[in-house]
Amino acid sequence: MNILVLCTGNSARSILLESIFNRDSGGRVTAWSAGSTPSGKVHPQSLALLAELGYPTDGLSSQSWDVYAEPDAPRMDVVITVCDSAASETCPYWPTTNGHAPVQVHWGIPDPAAAAAPDWDKAFSSAYMRLRAKADAFLVHPVEAFSPAELKSALQSAASA
DSSP, residue by residue, 58-72: TT----BGGGGGSTT
Write down the pLDDT at residue 82: 93
Q: Give strand ranges (E) for 17-139.
A: 30-35, 78-81, 103-106
Residues contacting 151, CB < 8 A, separation 6+: 77, 78, 103, 143
| Structural domain harbouring 22 | 2-159
pLDDT in tens, the chain (161 residues): 999 999 989 999 999 999 999 999 999 999 999 998 899 999 999 999 999 999 999 999 999 988 988 888 899 999 999 987 544 455 556 666 566 789 999 999 999 999 999 999 999 999 999 999 999 999 999 999 999 999 999 999 999 99
Q: Phi, psi (5° rounding) for residue 85?
A: -65, -20
Angle at 99 between CA 94 and CA 100, to 5 degrees: 55
- Domains held by the chain: number: 1
Rounded Cα distance, 106 and 148, in Å: 16
Q: Which residues pair with 127 in a beta bridge?
A: none
Read off the amino acid at residue 38: P
Write down the pLDDT at residue 71: 83
Residues contacting 88, CB < 8 A, separation 6+: none
Write down the pLDDT at residue 139: 97
Rounded Cα distance, 134 and 43, in Å: 22
Question: For the whole model, what pTM was predicted?
Answer: 0.93
Write down the pLDDT at residue 87: 42
Q: What CATH number does the domain containing 60 carry? A: 3.40.50.2300
Coil/strand/helix, residue 81: strand
Write down the pLDDT at residue 86: 45
Rounded Cα distance, 129 and 113, in Å: 15
Write down the pLDDT at residue 95: 60
Stated as kind and residue range, the H or E segment containing 5 is strand 2-7
Q: Phi, psi (5° rounding) for residue 5?
A: -105, 120
